[in-house]
Structure 1
Amino acid sequence: MAKVPGSGARRAALKMLDVVLRRGETLEQAGGAANGLPSFADRALARAIAGEVLRWLVDLDALIDSATREKLPEDAKARMVLRMMLAQVLRLETPPHAVVATALPLLAGGPKRLAHGVFATLTRQGVELPAVPSLPPKVAQRWGERAEAIAAGITGPPPLDLRLKAPDLTEEMAVRMQATSLAPGHLRLPRGASVTDLPGYEEGSWWVQDLAASIPATLLGAGEGPNGQRRVLDLAAAPGGKTLQLASAGWDVTALDINARRMVRLRENLARTGLSAHTVVADALEWEPSEPFDAILLDAPCTATGTCRRHPEVVHRIGERQIAGMVEIQRAMIRRAVQWLEPGGVFVYAVCSLEQEEGEEQARWIDSECGLRPLPVSSKDIPPGIEPTPEGWVRTDPGMLPEEGGLDGFFIGRWQRPPAGNG
């Protein structure tokens, strides 16, 4: 039988969703299912279908359940294919006849008639998705009073944020790239721009970095101190946005990460931007520095639920077990890191997580257990429109700055080791 055009992209999307929802892997890990497709357009379509299903999963399931006498099992292939069919019609504006032609072959030997009937019933009814995706109840409970705003922020993929090597060129580069700027050194462009084709890429004038992700390094200020260049450790550094930021701010940077493959990317970005840093591939729980640092930035391994705008699978694959595991890793890394600070040195802890256990609760633990004193963040330290918490921490989420395109979710706190002679 002749292969239906476009069916390969749908088959790849089905495999990706199975890897994410059944095996608990990330969409990036699952993306290999699309690598064998013949064109960039097919690969992009497979990822778009999978991404939209994951963003709207709760609402797609509600529609499917409204049109079946008996509820389909959660892991039924027919349910997954119907999710994809509805996502294409309701989010990607694919004509219904094209959806049917490319989706039903995925159910060869299975309940094609059921899937076709449910899809036809729903499209005939003119069903729509809500304005804002529904979150799984447990996730909404974890995210509390901000849950609805966060959900509104993950309706679609985010815009493209760039960080400039030379912040004083912000206005000039914004005009050159037809971009907006939300802070010195920041540019925001519409999603879909080809990164390598943008002005300044070859010259190394910028790198990709969400505005919220740029805050932790910003809180350390300039690298030049009264006694010359200061030393900073960027712990868990890859893929390197904060390393580049610190190097461009004049710090003598040591960038450490356990992932050798991701460190290759960091070194490539250093070479492209003409910035320098000492790079170390090592386990932070075993490595020992030769001398202490004036500052340490730990952007700790975490559940990454704050990246749900670009990685919607975290809404479905992260639960209490994953959060608890990350909390233990984070505390182990914090315990080691604070030992490597000079007296008077500054420690910044950050996670791209929306979970209280990884953010606010860790900050309270640092206050009580780590021998550091809080160094509260003020409004002048962070981009306009973002306010520190009453404790002097920073908490961002995808529902913030909605008119400007939102933010990734981060928790950030800052502390100082007491200077010598001070308790």
Structure 2
Amino acid sequence: MVVSAVKSARRQPPTAEIHDDTPGLAARRVAVRLLSAVIDTKTPLDGLTDGEHGHPQYRALDARDRGLVRAILTTALRHRMSIQALIDARLDRKLPSNAAALNHILHVGAAQLLFLDIPDSAAVDLAVTHAKLDPRTRRFANLVNAVLREIGRRKERALPAVLAKTVEAPEWFAERLDAAYGKDHARAILDMHRHEAAIDLTVKSNPQEWAHKLGGFVLPTGSVRLTSVDGAVSELPSFGDGEWWVQDAAAALPARLMGNIEGKRVADICAAPGGKTAQLALSGAHVTAIEKVANRAKRLAGNLERLKLDVEIVVADLFEHRPDQLYDAVLLDAPCSSTGTIRRHPDVLWTKTPDDISRLAALQRRMLDHAATLVKPGGTILFCNCSLEPEEGEAMIATALAENKALERVPFAAGEFPFVDGFLDADGAVRTTPAGLPDAVHKRAGLDGFYTVRLRVKG
């Protein structure tokens, strides 16, 4: 404990001269600012760290510092509950609710001490300097120094102990996960959340050959998994030739579950960034990609151009889309809470709320009802999303089938698509979670959480 140090920190404001041009300080200050945006205003991290449209202070950093900021933030968010427990254990009382800025400085410092390859002295000194520069935290600089140094000194024993008893999720989400999957499966999901996900690729042909060329291996689902990449993914062989694209193994399943769609008219709704669109086009379908947001449609077009795939792109709100001819099939990857992607996007647990889940489930239901009007009688709707929440999946579909008499379930049968046999639920839908595809090496294991159900529009 550092009770005496904490108390003295309140009485002894630092007086030493300080400067804001210390090497490495700018990156830490940006990390704290962006962490505040995620936690305090529920701003998604991807938008904040976008190279073209992200936070201006982030864009002002060089490439190396941007990478450091992303590493700090994903680590601080991935292990937020454990970090908070270690901070709380070193205070005589919890920080007040109006001390958010101080708490963010402590989290950024502790993430470096505990999980990143950064010297303890650098992590502590930069955090203290930052505290001195911020008028809101200046009088707590000694506290920052005492708490972080104590965490650094005791981390070899304290970290494993806190990891063993801490769940890395807000209480509301952990409770919902327990209710949906049972405590053991829920804990396995959250344990996987602590480990960075691998990079999965969908390849146009010959997965074994591409796995050999790129230094990966082929998953049972057919995706190629890379456990390490030196440099940018775009620098890997044949990226520019469009022979493969990045797509989580779970996200690659729905399009494959469409079956034989060669020559059929298929709509991909909410199509950007285009991984599923590309799969549908590669399968020989005549694909119409529907995307509401113009910037996302532009990105979709660029991706398809690189992949050399011909697709009709329609920039429109789904609810206003009325095709001249009904489609044979529709793939609806509906907007959702994205709780199945927490390994790749640890900010999700801190930017979403139960109210968001209910609101998105209602939107999904409306989208599904409208999608049913776009498909010819006897045609297929494949509904999917990357949420772990039954409210956005199993429960929503059950209600839709009870209330929309134009739809009926077409269960996936065991053996029909053998690569998903291990993920079939009692209703013949496909449910993956981050605890799937287990492996002793965490980097080789897991996949996103996805729910996929096949429906038919009655004749």
TM range (shorter): over 0.9
C-alpha separation in 1, matches of 2:394 and 2:308: 37
- The range that moved more, 320-329 or 396-405, is 396-405
Q: 1:223 to 1:83 in 2, by over 3 A?
A: same
Residue 121 of structure 1 and its aligned partner are, at CA, apart by 2.2
C-alpha separation in 2, matches of 1:241 and 1:143: 28
For residues 269-308 of structure 1, the aligned pairs below 5 Å read 269-308=303-342
Q: Does 1:36 align with 2:59?
A: yes
Structure 1: tracts of 5 or more residues without a match:
none
Match for residue 386 of structure 2?
352
C-alpha separation in 1, matches of 2:74 and 2:177: 21
Match for residue 372 of structure 1?
407
The answer on whether the counterparts of 1:21 and 1:317 sit within 8 Å (CA) in structure 2 is yes
Residue 73 of structure 1 and its aligned partner are, at CA, apart by 2.6
Q: 1:288 to 1:314 in 2, by over 3 A?
A: same
Match for residue 435 of structure 2?
399
> Normalized against structure 2, the TM-score is what?
0.86
Match for residue 142 of structure 1?
176
Residue 100 of structure 1 and its aligned partner are, at CA, apart by 1.7
Residue 256 of structure 1 and its aligned partner are, at CA, apart by 0.2
Residue 185 of structure 1 and its aligned partner are, at CA, apart by 4.6
Q: Does 1:342 align with 2:383?
A: no
Match for residue 13 of structure 2?
none
Residue 64 of structure 1 and its aligned partner are, at CA, apart by 0.9
The answer on whether the counterparts of 2:95 and 2:103 sit within 8 Å (CA) in structure 1 is yes
C-alpha separation in 1, matches of 2:388 and 2:222: 25
Equivalent residue in structure 1 for 2:224, among 187, 199, 203 = 187
C-alpha separation in 1, matches of 2:379 and 2:20: 67
Secondary structure, counterpart of 1:68 in structure 2:
coil
Structure 2: tracts of 5 or more residues without a match:
1-18
Q: 1:89 to 1:53 in 2, by over 3 A?
A: same
Equivalent residue in structure 1 for 2:34, among 1, 16, 24 = 16
What is the alpha-carbon root mean square deviation over aligned residues?
A: 1.7
- Letter aligned with residue 156 of structure 1: H
| CA deviation profile, 1:147-176 (whole Å, cap 9, x unmatched) | 20111111122111010122xx11111111
Residue 96 of structure 1 and its aligned partner are, at CA, apart by 1.1
The answer on whether the counterparts of 2:198 and 2:227 sit within 8 Å (CA) in structure 1 is yes
Residue 415 of structure 1 and its aligned partner are, at CA, apart by 1.0
The answer on whether the counterparts of 2:221 and 2:420 sit within 8 Å (CA) in structure 1 is no
C-alpha separation in 2, matches of 1:219 and 1:366: 21
Q: Does 1:200 align with 2:238?
A: yes
Secondary structure, counterpart of 1:97 in structure 2:
helix
Q: Does 1:88 align with 2:112?
A: yes
The answer on whether the counterparts of 2:27 and 2:61 sit within 8 Å (CA) in structure 1 is no
Residue 191 of structure 1 and its aligned partner are, at CA, apart by 4.2
Match for residue 315 of structure 1?
349
Residue 387 of structure 1 and its aligned partner are, at CA, apart by 2.4
| CA deviation profile, 1:31-90 (whole Å, cap 9, x unmatched) | 223533442111011011111111111111111111111210345222111111111011
Match for residue 97 of structure 1?
121
C-alpha separation in 2, matches of 1:2 and 1:300: 45
Matched-pair identity in %: 36
The answer on whether the counterparts of 1:215 and 1:382 sit within 8 Å (CA) in structure 2 is no
| CA deviation profile, 1:237-279 (whole Å, cap 9, x unmatched) | 1111110000000100000011111111111111111111110
Q: 1:382 to 1:55 in 2, by over 3 A?
A: farther
Residue 10 of structure 1 and its aligned partner are, at CA, apart by 0.6
Match for residue 84 of structure 2?
61
For residues 381-396 of structure 1, the aligned pairs below 5 Å read 381=417, 383=419, 386-396=422-432
Secondary structure, counterpart of 1:162 in structure 2:
strand
Q: 1:382 to 1:243 in 2, by over 3 A?
A: farther
C-alpha separation in 2, matches of 1:339 and 1:88: 52
The answer on whether the counterparts of 1:153 and 1:402 sit within 8 Å (CA) in structure 2 is no
- Letter aligned with residue 423 of structure 2: E
Match for residue 162 of structure 1?
201
C-alpha separation in 1, matches of 2:317 and 2:403: 23
- Letter aligned with residue 121 of structure 2: H
The answer on whether the counterparts of 2:211 and 2:218 sit within 8 Å (CA) in structure 1 is yes
C-alpha separation in 2, matches of 1:262 and 1:191: 28
C-alpha separation in 1, matches of 2:361 and 2:409: 20
Secondary structure, counterpart of 1:311 in structure 2:
coil
> Normalized against structure 1, the TM-score is what?
0.94
| Pairs aligned (count) | 413
C-alpha separation in 1, matches of 2:340 and 2:258: 22
Match for residue 73 of structure 2?
50
Secondary structure, counterpart of 1:353 in structure 2:
coil
C-alpha separation in 2, matches of 1:385 and 1:413: 14
- Letter aligned with residue 119 of structure 2: P
Q: 1:261 to 1:175 in 2, by over 3 A?
A: same
C-alpha separation in 1, matches of 2:376 and 2:433: 32
C-alpha separation in 1, matches of 2:403 and 2:265: 25
Match for residue 220 of structure 1?
258
Match for residue 152 of structure 2?
123
| CA deviation profile, 1:275-327 (whole Å, cap 9, x unmatched) | 11110111111221111111001000111111101110111222211011101
- The range that moved more, 56-65 or 28-37, is 28-37
Secondary structure, counterpart of 1:5 in structure 2:
coil
Equivalent residue in structure 1 for 2:43, among 17, 25, 45 = 25
Secondary structure, counterpart of 2:320 in structure 1:
coil
- The range that moved more, 180-189 or 135-144, is 180-189
